[in-house]
Amino acid sequence: MKKLAVLAALPLLVGAGNLQTSPELGQAEGRCRANERGPAFLVRAVGLKDRVGWLKVEVYPSNDDDWLADDNVLLNAGKTFRRLEVPVPQSGTPELCIRVPSAGTYSVLLLHDRDMDHKFKWQVDGVGFASNPRLGFSQPKAEKARATAGSSPTRISITLNYRRGLGMRPISS
């Protein structure tokens, strides 16, 4: 019974992701431009379940107070929030480029929004974090989802996790 109660809390995995928000927030700031130099993450999405829906990368300040906080709150407070959302490519391993304001440490989330509803549903969608922490029954702390951006685009690889049984784990495990 305890596992079921904890399982019911899994929607909290993406924090305040279901609050009033706009999918466009943070996208203009996060979009990389051709031949652009400067700090960014090149996020390699590993372990896609299928080729439907959208891939969404979000970048947050790397502290527990701001990690997965509502995008409106972060932007209104002048804090870092970046989002990039693209259709899942039909072949190959996707690589998404998302700009960050400066070199430094951030916490990074990758979602596979399979039903394209702009909300995370753990029963349907995939999720992964920088540093690829093992997922339990709650969202990882900011430090477990950290990546450090250099002064030029920095490559990171995030493995997606999908519902398997009562938990979330990569398809290949």
Helix (H), strand (E) counts: the chain: 3, 10
Average pLDDT, the chain: 87
pTM: 0.85
pLDDT for res 146: 98
Q: How confident is the model at residue 1 (pLDDT cuts 50, 70, 90)?
A: very low
95-99 vs 146-149, strand pairing mode: unpaired
Q: Which is more confidently placed, 64 or 122? A: 64
Neighbours of 104 (CB within 10 A): 13
* Helix residue ranges per DSSP H, the chain: 2-8, 27-30, 71-76
The DSSP letter of residue 129 is: E
End-to-end CA distance of the chain: 26
